[in-house]
Amino acid sequence: MSWEENVRTVVPYTAGEQPNKADMVKLNTNECPYPPAPGVERAAAGLDYRQLRLYPDPDTGVLTKVLAEYYHVKPEQVFVGVGSDDVLSMAFMTFFNGPLPVLFPDVTYSFYDVWAQLHGIPYKTCALDENWHICPRDYRQPNGGVVFPNPNAPTGLLEDLGTVEEIVAANRDVVVIVDEAYVDFGGVSALPLLKKYDNLLVVQTFSKSRAMAGMRIGFCIGSEKMIRYLQDVKFSFNSYTMNLPAQILGAEAVRDDAYFKETTARIVATRERVKGELKKLGFSFPDSSANFIFATHGHIPAERIFRALREADIYVRYWNKPRISNYLRITIGTEEQMERLLDFLKKYVDKNRKIC
């Protein structure tokens, strides 16, 4: 017998590449193109390095309190983690322990099946309809839990609150996780449903709308009971997941609501303008409520465009996977970044029209 027989083997999640070129346009991992709030810079400058000698607050008290106030819930309903990936993985481990399969869409965040495999959770995917919408009736079959992003990734498509409630209401005997990584760009949060349903867990992140992907902060809000179960698993795993700077700087990001609203509004305005420009160039896409557009071209294969863009140091995301292999996921950057993308695409589409 070889030691390899006892190895937990997993096929890891493939994150978007993180190139670092001077003049690149990076539109491939849905980061915010604007810096974090000014208060974050001030707090970062004021950090006393000597504090790093001590363990951080294992309850992330300051950050939890600020989030509870902001979202009008009790601190006991908030759980903070090292990015929402940490929160989601912890939630899978905590709540998806039954024998029945956990359900999620066939086209969705590609970390869900990886966590299911890692934690040994059976799962089943439900096909989105031909317009990329979730079919709520698919979530009426026996299951061990449900998870989906809203707006969905990588489509950017938002489901209305009625659809979300229908799924939560039809699954009172399991936990339903709504991953709201992109909700701040025009989505509708499921948070108000928490008053009616104790099986709902809403997960959000600081990585996209709060411009802090590098700091790794995510959180979820649910019933007090649910959060207690999550804490028990977390404290059995690693008490000090979140470092001190993340706790302090994260709280500052939430405190500056005006900056948050201004930058997200700017991204939404750019997105709407880019939608119009892409249409003129022959692209079509589901109507995004996120900080990216999931676009396909009328006659040029997505993979070719992806490679051509990459040659020009413009990075977008492409997956050679069923149903989505002719699509590009383009993050919304600054106006200048999008201008460079559109300039390139105008020339590229024009050139390819002449060849055809």
Ligand X SMILES: *Cc1c(COP(=O)(O)O)cnc(C)c1O
Question: What residue number has its CB nearest to ligand X?
Answer: 83
CA distance 112 to 131: 22
Output the smallest distance, CB 29 to ligand X, in A: 8
As beta bridge partners, residue 146 has 103, 176
Cβ closest to ligand X, residue 27 vs residue 345? 27
Closest-CA residue to 201 (of 225, 216, 222): 222
Output the smallest distance, CB 253 to ligand X, in A: 13
Three-class SS of residue 203? strand
Output the smallest distance, CB 205 to ligand X, in A: 3
Closest-CA residue to 313 (of 16, 20, 1, 3): 20
CA distance 150 to 188: 8
Cβ closest to ligand X, residue 144 vs residue 156? 156
Output the smallest distance, CB 212 to ligand X, in A: 9
CA distance 153 to 179: 10
Cβ closest to ligand X, residue 151 vs residue 340? 151
Output the smallest distance, CB 348 to ligand X, in A: 27
Interaction site with ligand X (CB under 6 A):
30, 83-85, 109, 149, 153, 179, 181, 205, 207, 213, 218
Closest-CA residue to 340 (of 27, 3, 49): 27
Cβ closest to ligand X, residue 254 vs residue 345? 254
Cβ closest to ligand X, residue 33 vs residue 344? 33
Three-class SS of residue 117? helix
